[in-house]
Structure 1
Amino acid sequence: MTAGMTAGMTVRVVVADDQELVRAGFGMILDAQPDIEVVAEAGDGAQAVAAVRAHRPDVLLLDIRMPVMDGIEAARVVCAGSDCRVLMLTTFDLDDYVFDALRAGASGFLLKDVRRDDLVHAVRVVAAGESLLAPSVTTRLIARFAASAPVAPPAERLAMLTPRERETLRMVARGLSNAEIARAMVVSEHTVKTHVSNVLAKLGLRDRVQAVIAAYETGLTVPGDPR
């Protein structure tokens, strides 16, 4: 859960999209869930930032393309100034925007034609402190992001990790779930969760998305690595 959240608590959400029908539609879907409450809507990036400051939500559902203040800048402000998790809406033709949003601290991405159940699941996952990238976005976009990322000497950032933690980070960067990592390493999912938590804590990372970036930036994983 996000800071201060415990099991059974309602996930508070702000929905930000400049298209009123899209905004209202997502809001209705989420508000219909017993464990999710839409506390505000916003029609531009500046309104989204203001809504987060006023309502202190757990999740901001934010369109990348927004007027007044674009979604990337809004995400940067929100992630730097609060514990709110940012779940961004994107389309296939916005790769460069996705790279910038990753750097801004976004915790997840959804395609705008997302199915109802996947939208609800994504909000819950992000609120619980995990990260989420649509499968069609993950490998292609992260690899392109990493190709131009500055590479820091691995020894400087990764020396504090155990061999198991390094291997876990490498698999996270390749897009594997905890269950898939557990099978590959022949350990329990609980053990994998512990490894992931240790990696995040030791490297000072916010979530799995930042872990993916760190793996590429340090050269631990390179574009084209097999799954």
Structure 2
Amino acid sequence: MKIRVLIADDDSLIRESLKIILGMDDNIEIVDTVDNGLKAVEMCAKNLIDIALLDIRMPILNGVEAAKKIAENTNCKPLILTTFDEDDYIKDALKNGAKGYILKNNSPEKIINAIKTVYSGNTVMQDEILDKIKEGLNYKKNYIDESIFTERELDIIKAIAEGLSNKEISCKLFISEGTVKNYITNILSKTNLKHRTQIAIYYLKGEA
């Protein structure tokens, strides 16, 4: 089964270029392209779309707001693909449901791999984005109240903040993937967070 992708970007050249490049992969089907965030939300609500590839700055509804609405109201996974790496954009996008944040200067292969990674249930943040979260967003590990977590839960939180998948965490900590998922469920319950991306932000910045 192919990964059904929607492309949302207000630049027609970028939209068409991405449509051609991504569509060359046998595992990806481009459902449609739109030029603003509102159209992206409407498309995801009316169609079976797996990944919404969203630019940040778009008219009517920007990528951050579109990601929030898509994440809240559909099963589609928003993935930010943009040229903008400002701190507020990164923080708000991840906080509001985006499953990844990558820049357009990546190679087509890396963008395709990011789509497949998010589709498989993991989060994608390239190194410079993760660095900005650590450094540009007042990175202070001491913000979190470690007393509410077990030692193993803290290990899981730190591993998620490092960008590790459940499989990678299970290998690192020598526990099963099912056990990792159980720990993540407990962490989400204790923090009232909704998904693992917010856990990473919780650890790196101290706020969900």
- Give me the TM-score of the superposition, normalised by structure 2: 0.83
Change (3 A) 1:138 1:93: closer
Distance in 1 (CA, whole Å) between partners of 2:177 and 2:36 is: 36
CA distance in 1, matches of 2:69, 2:130: 24
Distance 1:29 1:77, change over 3 A: same
Tell me how far apart the structure 1 counterparts of residues 84 and 33 of structure 2 sit (CA, whole Å): 24
Alpha-carbon spacing, 1:10–1:184, altered in 2? closer, same or farther (3 Å): closer
- The RMSD of aligned alpha carbons is 2.7
Q: 1:217 to 1:97 in 2, by over 3 A?
A: closer
Aligned residue identity for 2:153: E
**1:152 to partner: Cα distance:** 6.2
Q: Distance in 2 between matches of 1:217 and 1:94?
A: 15
| Partner residue in 2 for 1:52 | 44
TM-aligned CA deviation for residue 216 of structure 1: 3.9
Change in 2 beyond 3 A, CA 1:184/1:34? closer
Q: Is the CA contact 1:64–1:90 (under 8 Å) kept in the aligned structure 2?
A: yes
* Residue 202 (structure 2) aligns with: 214
Correspondence 1:198 to 2:182: yes
Shift in CA distance, 15/30, structure 1 to aligned 2, threshold 3 Å: same
Letter matched to residue 126 of structure 1? V
Q: 1: CA distance between counterparts of 2:110 and 2:153?
A: 30
The residue that corresponds to 1:3 in the other structure is: none
Q: 3-state SS of the aligned residue for 2:137?
A: helix
- Partners in 2 of 1:129 and 1:180 — Cα distance? 13
Aligned to 1:82: 74
Offset, 1:198: 2.3
Task: Give the count of matched residue pairs.
Answer: 202
Q: Does the C-alpha gap of structure 1 residues 182 and 128 become closer, same or farther in structure 2, counting only changes over 3 Å?
A: closer
Distance verdict in 2 for CA 1:53–1:217, change over 3 Å:
same
Displacement of 1:181: 5.1
Residues 50-199 of structure 1 aligned to structure 2 (within 5 Å): 50-91=42-83, 93-145=85-137, 147=139, 153-156=145-148, 158=149, 162-176=150-164, 185=173, 187=174, 191=175, 193-199=177-183
CA contact under 8 A between 2:7 and 2:15: conserved in structure 1?
A: yes
Q: Matched residues in 2 for 1:75 and 1:56: separation? A: 16
Q: CA offset at residue 135 of structure 1? A: 1.1
Moved more, 55-64 or 194-203: 194-203
Contact 2:134 2:205 in 1 (8 A): no
Cα distance in 1, alignment partners of residues 165 and 45 from structure 2: 33
Q: Any stretches of 5+ residues in structure 2 without a counterpart?
A: none
Which one-letter code corresponds to 1:109 in the other structure?
Y
Percent identical among aligned pairs is 33
Distance 1:20 1:192, change over 3 A: farther
Cα distance in structure 2, aligned partners of 1:111 and 1:200 = 28
- Cα distance between partner residues in 1 of 2:128 and 2:53: 19
Partner SS state of residue 39, structure 1: strand
* Alignment-derived partner of residue 26 in structure 1: 18
Equivalent position SS for 1:145: coil
Q: How far apart are 1:106 and its partner, in Å?
A: 0.6
Equivalent residue number for residue 12 of structure 1: 4
